[in-house]
């Protein structure tokens, strides 16, 4: 049965929110009026911090090295992603005067001689000279103008249209980074095409073809040619491809129809990444965008290819927005840089005070009229409201498991976005390089990332420094068994003669994680479970063979099965996006040979915590050399050879 969202009674006390509607929305209590009220509240924050010409608001929060002028531009262009569907869906009921406000802002920002003019973007190349973020914001403006063209573009005078078009065209002609950025100039070009403006010198079709070449399967793309799989699928790749084919009149071409099919598949798989309390799977970078994860869902609904029913769509989307609101996001001020509370450690150097407003693209459903079924139908269960299930995405190397009141991702497909480790820590790495993620835990950042315990198999140097997982060399998924190979890096370099093969098997609230470590005996090994966090210190404990951590809701444990010696728990403060206090259970061992096998049972669940001493009974494991056979208490069984399960060339680190 579905579970009620947390703190609905507290949400009802917010003066700007309507009362919950238990008849139309029996799970979340949220209707279209709650979405409108939340959008209006977030947009009022922009007006509260407005500049005289409305093009350069200064919100609370950090400023990147590009300066306040860039941040003000970002604030306007990203909040416009929320304002545009709010304007379009109100059909003349623009009570806040948003359309006129944002038209004035656009004209002030694109005026080449204006006092609040926005910086012009430069082509992305090395060495980089100038601001590139304007290219992103041009895409956001183009997308928003497309959504609310009748109210944002059409009222402009001919000279004003020319000014905005010139600004868009400048960015449409620039060369950009080889990832989702390929779609940003295409957005500017697409809108220009839709209003019959000059697009000479633009390369949108080429850029779109590049992105389409990165398609994996099940609706998912890599974010560039490397192993980078994340929510940029949801808030950039799918929405911008959708808009490109729409703006250029290609919806009914083979390419347009192919994308709609891929969009349908994506929503079908991504819908399993939201727990039944509205929590979102915490993986990948730019997570401060939060509700932007809903953008592709709304695109599918608008185009009629959504695999979910209208009632299930609203239940899922409202669950996400209600959960973030219940945790305080956007309540007492603009959304901060973090997940629930502010947490700079999980954000990127390119994120400034206006960055979180990219969340506005997740409000795209407001462009649908109030009489649309998605707003009128009674809520129906979302996919993770029903019986627990496991969904395998073999092309992405991911396994999604909804057992235990949360969603867990086993990751053998995405690494750290192809970025070098160098002599220090890439701040994006914790959100790509772990073996597992969930909706209710987050990887450790700051000192926890330096230690690199959670969700990781580390070889330890003599000074205790932990190796990095880094780029994957090979992956394979076969049903519930998935695996990958990586060359560990230590001190910024590959460990000579070293390689790690890891194979995971899931069953209920458990994952059996098996490692074949090949390399010199001088390195000990350590295996970490999920980091559990909370507002108060996390409860921890250990037995002779297991270590665990719990916050009263979430329980995580690692239990030694084969090749492990010492259980331990480690505490941190201020190193986790889920709460100020966190702890991670782990196992460690010495290696008696140059080739060793290490197997641990990882347990993750919510609610009543299992008795740690009984966890090992969940699986009977037989190890013979590198061959592993497991029989679960559920009756399921698997067997595999760690040496051969993941095919690769066998080249160890050099």
What average pLDDT does range 53-64 have in this prediction?
94
Pair type for strands 581-589 and 554-562? unpaired
- Mean predicted confidence (pLDDT) in 594-600: 97
12: pLDDT confidence band, cut at 50, 70 and 90?
A: low
Q: What angle do CA 612, 636, 477 make, to 5 degrees?
A: 100
Residue 424 has pLDDT above 80, yes or no: no
List the structure tokens of 619. 């699986």
- State the angle between helix axes of 133-147 and 183-194 in degrees (0 to 180), rounded to the nearest 10: 40
Contacts with 420 (C-beta within 8 Å, 6 or more apart), sequence order: 426
Q: Is the pLDDT of residue 517 over 70?
A: yes
With contact defined as beta carbons under 8 Å apart, do 95 and 369 qualify?
Answer: no
Per-residue confidence (pLDDT) for residue 418, from 0 to 100: 52
Q: What is the largest CA-CA distance in the chain?
A: 78
* Residue 38: DSSP 8-state: H
In three-state form (DSSP H/G/I as H, E/B as E, the rest C), the secondary structure along 216-231 is EECCEECCCCCCCCCC
Residues in contact with 265: Cβ distance below 8 Å, sequence separation at least 6, in sequence order: 218, 219
Residues 257, 259, 264, 265: is their CA dihedral positive or negative?
positive
Q: What is the pLDDT of residues 527-556, one digit of tens each?
A: 999 999 999 999 999 999 999 999 999 999
Bridge partners (DSSP) listed for residue 595: 518
Q: DSSP code of 235? A: I
pLDDT band with cut points at 50, 70 and 90 for residue 7: low
Q: How far apart are CA 75 and CA 63, in angstroms?
A: 12
Rounded Cα gap, residues 54 and 440, in angstroms: 38
Beta-carbon neighbour count of residue 346 at 10 Å? 29
How many C-beta neighbours within 10 Å does residue 583 have? 27
Per domain, the residue ranges of the chain are 21-124+131-385, 390-641
Per-residue H/E/C for 274-320 = ECCCCCECCCCCCHHHHHHHHHHHHHHHHHCCCCCCHHHHHHHHHHH
Q: pLDDT tens digits, residue range 632-648?
A: 999 999 999 999 999 98
Over 60: is that where the pLDDT of 6 sits? no
**What is the phi/psi pair of residue 605, to 5°?**
-160, 170
Q: What is the pTM of this model?
A: 0.95
CA distance 278 to 378: 18
pLDDT at 427 over 60: no
pLDDT computed for residue 439 by the predictor: 98
CATH number of 390-641: 2.70.98.70
For the beta carbon of residue 398, count every other beta carbon within 10 angstroms.
Answer: 26
Cα(156)–Cα(100) distance, rounded to whole angstroms? 10
The rounded mean pLDDT for the chain is 93
Q: pLDDT confidence of 93, banded at 50, 70, 90? A: confident
Q: How confident is the model at residue 423 (pLDDT cuts 50, 70, 90)?
A: very low
pLDDT in tens, 498-516: 999 999 999 999 999 999 9
The pLDDT of residue 5 is 57
Question: Left if phi > 0, otherwise alpha if psi is -120 to 50, otherwise beta: which for 129?
Answer: beta
What tens digit of pLDDT does each residue of 212-269 get?
Answer: 999 999 999 999 887 789 999 999 999 999 999 999 999 999 999 999 999 999 999 9
Answer whether 31's CB lies under 8 Å from 18's CB: yes
Distance CA 603, CA 585 (A): 11
Rounded-to-10 torsion of CA 42, 45, 47, 49:
-150
pLDDT given for residue 653 in this prediction: 63
Which range of 64-73, 367-376, 422-431, 465-474 scores highest in mean pLDDT? It is: 367-376
The topology under which CATH files domain 21-124+131-385 is Glycosyltransferase (1.50.10)
């Amino acid at each position: 049965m579905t579970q009620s969202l947390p703190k609905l009674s507290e949400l009802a006390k917010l003066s700007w929110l309507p009362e919950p509607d238990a008849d139309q929305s029996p799970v979340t209590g949220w209707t279209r009026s709650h979405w409108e009220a939340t959008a209006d509240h977030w947009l009022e924050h922009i007006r509260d911090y407005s500049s005289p010409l409305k093009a350069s608001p200064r919100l609370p929060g950090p400023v990147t090295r590009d300066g306040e002028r860039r941040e003000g531009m970002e604030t306007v262009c990203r909040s416009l992603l929320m304002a545009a569907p709010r304007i379009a869906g109100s059909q003349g009921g623009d009570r806040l005067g948003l359309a006129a406000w944002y038209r004035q802002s656009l004209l002030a920002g694109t005026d080449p001689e204006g006092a609040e003019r926005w910086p012009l973007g430069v082509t992305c190349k090395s060495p980089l000279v100038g601001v590139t973020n304007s290219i992103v914001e041009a895409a956001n403006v183009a997308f928003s103008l497309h959504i609310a063209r009748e109210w944002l573009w059409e009222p402009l005078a001919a000279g004003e249209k020319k000014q905005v078009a010139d600004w868009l065209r400048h960015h449409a002609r620039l060369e950009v980074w080889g990832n989702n950025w390929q779609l940003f100039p295409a957005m500017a070009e697409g809108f220009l095409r839709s209003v019959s403006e000059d697009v000479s010198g633009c390369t949108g079709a080429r850029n779109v073809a590049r992105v389409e070449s990165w398609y994996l399967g099940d609706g998912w793309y890599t974010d560039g040619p490397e192993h980078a799989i994340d929510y940029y699928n949801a808030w950039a790749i799918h929405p911008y491809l959708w808009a490109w084919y729409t703006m250029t009149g290609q919806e009914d071409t083979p390419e347009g129809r192919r994308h709609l099919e891929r969009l349908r598949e994506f929503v079908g798989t991504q819908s399993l990444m939201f727990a039944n309390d509205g929590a979102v799977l915490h993986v990948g970078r730019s997570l401060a965008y939060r509700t932007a994860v809903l953008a592709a869902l709304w695109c599918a609904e608008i185009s009629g290819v959504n695999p979910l029913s209208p009632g299930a769509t609203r239940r899922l989307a409202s669950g996400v927005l209600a959960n973030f609101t219940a945790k305080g996001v956007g309540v007492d001020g603009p959304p901060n840089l973090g997940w629930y509370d502010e947490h700079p450690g999980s954000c990127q150097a390119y994120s400034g005070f206006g960055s979180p407003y990219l969340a506005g693209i997740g409000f795209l459903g407001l462009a649908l009229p109030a009489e649309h079924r998605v707003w009128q139908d009674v809520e129906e269960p979302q996919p993770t409201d029903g019986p627990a299930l496991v969904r395998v995405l073999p092309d992405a190397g991911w396994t999604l498991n909804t057992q235990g009141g949360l969603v867990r991702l086993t990751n053998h497909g995405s690494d750290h976005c192809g970025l070098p480790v160098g002599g220090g820590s890439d701040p994006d790495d914790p959100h790509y390089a772990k073996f597992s993620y969930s909706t209710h835990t987050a990887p450790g950042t700051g000192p926890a990332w330096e230690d690199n315990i959670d969700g990781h198999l580390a070889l330890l140097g003599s000074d205790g420094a932990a190796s990095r997982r880094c780029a994957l060399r090979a992956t394979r998924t076969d049903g519930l068994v998935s695996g990958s190979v990586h060359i560990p890096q230590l001190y910024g370099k590959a460990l000579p003669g070293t390689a790690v093969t890891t194979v995971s098997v899931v069953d209920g609230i458990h994952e059996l994680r098996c490692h074949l470590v090949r390399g010199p005996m001088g390195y000990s090994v350590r295996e970490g479970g999920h980091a559990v966090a909370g507002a108060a210190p996390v409860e921890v404990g250990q037995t002779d063979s297991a270590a665990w951590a719990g916050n009263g809701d979430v329980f995580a444990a690692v239990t030694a099965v084969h090749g492990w010696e010492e259980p331990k728990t480690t505490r941190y403060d201020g190193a986790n996006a889920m709460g100020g206090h966190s702890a991670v259970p782990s196992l460690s061992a010495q290696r008696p040979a140059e080739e060793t096998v290490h197997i641990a049972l990882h347990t993750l669940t919510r609610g009543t915590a299992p008795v740690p001493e009984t966890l090992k009974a969940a699986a009977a494991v037989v190890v013979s050399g590198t061959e592993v056979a497991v029989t679960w208490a559920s009756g399921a069984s698997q067997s595999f050879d760690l040496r051969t399960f993941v095919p690769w060339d066998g080249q160890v680190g050099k």
